[in-house]
Amino acid sequence: MARRQFGVFDGVWLVIGALGLAALPYVERTAAGASSEAPLFEQAIPGSTLRWYKGNTHTHTLNSDGDSTADEVVRWYREHGYHFLVLTDHNFLTAVDGLNAVHGANEKFLVVKGEEVTSSFQSKSVHVNGLNVSSQVEPTRNAASVVATIQGNVDAIRKADGVPHINHPNFQWSITPEDLRQVKNNRLLEVYNGHPTVHNAGGGSVPGLEQVWDQLLSQGITLFGIAVDDAHTFKQPGNPDAAGPGRGWVAVRAARLEPRALLDALERGAFYASTGVELVDVKSSATALTVEVRPRGDFKYRVRFIEKGGQVLHESIEPTATYTFKGGEGYVRATVTDSGGRIAWVQPVFVK
Phi–psi pair at 250, nearest 5 degrees: -120, 150
User: Minimal CA–CA distance to 179: which of 221, 148, 225?
Assistant: 148
Number of domains in the chain: 1
User: Buried (b) or exposed (e) across 190-204, using 16+ Cβ within 10 A?
Assistant: bbbbbbbebbbebee
Q: pLDDT value at position 40?
A: 82
Is 247 contained in some domain?
yes
Is 301 contained in some domain?
no
The alpha carbon of residue 77 and the mean position of all alpha carbons in its chain are separated, in whole angstroms, by 16
Q: How far apart are the first and last CA of the chain?
A: 10
Is 337 contained in some domain?
no
DSSP 341: S
Domain that holds residue 196: 18-279
Count of beta carbons in the 10 Å neighbourhood of residue 240: 8
Q: pLDDT value at position 271?
A: 98
The alpha carbon of residue 276 and the mean position of all alpha carbons in its chain are separated, in whole angstroms, by 12
Q: Dump the DSSP string for 108-146.
A: TBEEEEEEEEEEEETTEEEEEEEET-SSPPPPP-S-SSH
Is 291 contained in some domain?
no
Q: Break the chain down into helix, strand, coil percent, rounded to 5.
A: 20, 35, 50
Q: pLDDT value at position 37?
A: 47
User: Minimal CA–CA distance to 129: which of 172, 88, 174?
Assistant: 88
Is 333 contained in some domain?
no
Is 324 contained in some domain?
no
Phi–psi pair at 13, nearest 5 degrees: -65, -35
Q: pLDDT value at position 39?
A: 59
SS3 292: strand
Q: pLDDT value at position 20?
A: 32
Dihedral-angle region of residue 116 (phi above 0 means left; psi in -120 to 50 means alpha; beta otherwise): beta
Task: Give the chain's count of helices (H) and strands (E).
Answer: 7, 18
Is 1 contained in some domain?
no
CATH number at residue 36: 3.20.20.140
Is 27 contained in some domain?
yes
- Taking only the tens of pLDDT, the chain with its 352 residues reads 443 333 333 333 333 333 232 332 323 333 333 343 455 889 989 999 999 999 999 999 999 999 999 999 999 999 999 999 999 999 999 999 999 999 999 999 999 999 999 999 999 999 999 999 999 999 999 999 999 999 999 999 999 999 999 999 999 999 999 999 999 999 999 999 999 999 999 999 999 999 999 999 999 999 999 999 999 999 999 999 999 999 999 999 999 999 999 999 999 999 999 999 999 999 999 999 999 999 999 999 999 999 999 999 999 999 999 999 999 999 999 999 999 999 999 999 999 8
Q: pLDDT value at position 224?
A: 98
Phi–psi pair at 71, nearest 5 degrees: -60, -45
Label the pairing between strands 224-228 and 188-193: parallel
